[in-house]
Structure 1
Amino acid sequence: MDDELYGKRRDDSKITFLGYVLIVVQAIWVAVRWTSLKVLDISLWLILSFTENQRAVRPTIRVTFSKDQRAAIARSQRYKCMYCGVRLTSDNLQIDHMDPVSRGGSNDDGNLQALCRRCNIRKGNHTDDEFRERYWDLIGGVKRPPPQTIPQSYFDEIMRSTDAHEGVQEANRNRHATPKQRVERALPIPLLAWPVVFLLIGAYMFESFAVQVTMFGIVFGIAFAAGLWFRARHIGIFEE
């Protein structure tokens, strides 16, 4: 590498030039384009970052766990999320570090816990103690799954509670509504729309059977809304 062209090196493994990170691994220089973040040497898949007159950051390493490890951790918690108590399945089970790796946490079993996808997102980069302190009234300080499942909608409502104006809170509730809340809010639409449609059809096309047609519309609307509700429940939307 030409030092006159790329400037003085900061250490033996990485330098920066015009904001681009250049990292040498086993004497192979790897350059990254800022526009695409594409590694030019495909044999070295590293997650790199763009810097502006700063020292190059270390590549991000994603921790993976075997199927047996995930099952053992979930089994120790009786297949319940540590925070909300929802039943863990292969679709929503995620392994979380109580003390995040980015903040010095280890991969030891004592630092691992099983969470549902939504609670893992809620916790983010907080430690377990920080998260429990913030939502003490909801999940307490005992590090075990709650005896009764905490509804996801209620958990989200507590997280969104602020001192903001009621209009701002309502906008945030609508924007961050859970899938279950969206389904429940949409149910009145078919309940009201179908009877009105059949009432108009009966009034203009079947005047003598307007009442019967309207009753059919009411029954059809109820059946349609019930079908939407049972379908959402069957595919697991209410548990998200």
Structure 2
Amino acid sequence: MTNNYLDLLANFGIGGAHPGGFFLTQSILNKEQIQQFETVLDIGCGTGQTAEYLTKRYGCTVTAVDNHPLMLEKANTRFLKSDSPVIVIEGDIQQLNFQERSYDLILAESVIIFTTIFSTLKKLAGVLKIGGRMILIEMVAEQSLTEDLYEKACSLYGIKEILDEAEWKVKLGQAGFTQIEIIDTPHALTQTEIKDINPSDTITLDYFELWDEHNRFITENSGVLGYRVFRCIL
């Protein structure tokens, strides 16, 4: 199923499009004390910015997964140029067959909300090692949303549900995670400066208009929609 917003990100080739951007990613990872022997699963890797950083900074084994062919094409170009030994897999995390208990760390940067949330969380819990950790950066509802706003957000981003912080924690617990903490970050859903971009040769006007609509939406609803960084241990 197509998603116009994800198509937009793929065509512009935007790295670090998630809330907080790549600076937030670096600050989170630098506190994780990632070891060279660890295995990392980067779900919804996009153009590969985080996966490349992991291999270069920590020397760990990284598997990057995305179901968008153009995203992976640009990710593979990045990995080739930087000689990054990332294992790349194209597919939907909900459908892929990974070996159980095979990863020390899972990352999902504004990814799970674009899937069937609980199904994906259960799948990820199954491939994470006992005692392993999972870090999610995800949109949350800061207050009850009007029906109008809920429908507009779901339509704009091609998502099915918007959870508040407590609802995310409930689903994470039901999926099997025993320790769930919120990493201290700003909660505002604001547009971050884009420094990593690899645009396609031809981008239609529709994508520029959608990008403007996205920016207007998060500006107008900054107090209603936010994000959280969840650190979860199995």
TM-score normalised to structure 2 length: 0.21
More strand by share: 2
Point out the structure with the larger helix share: 1
Q: TM-score by structure 1 length?
A: 0.21
Whichever of the two has the greater Rg, that structure is 1
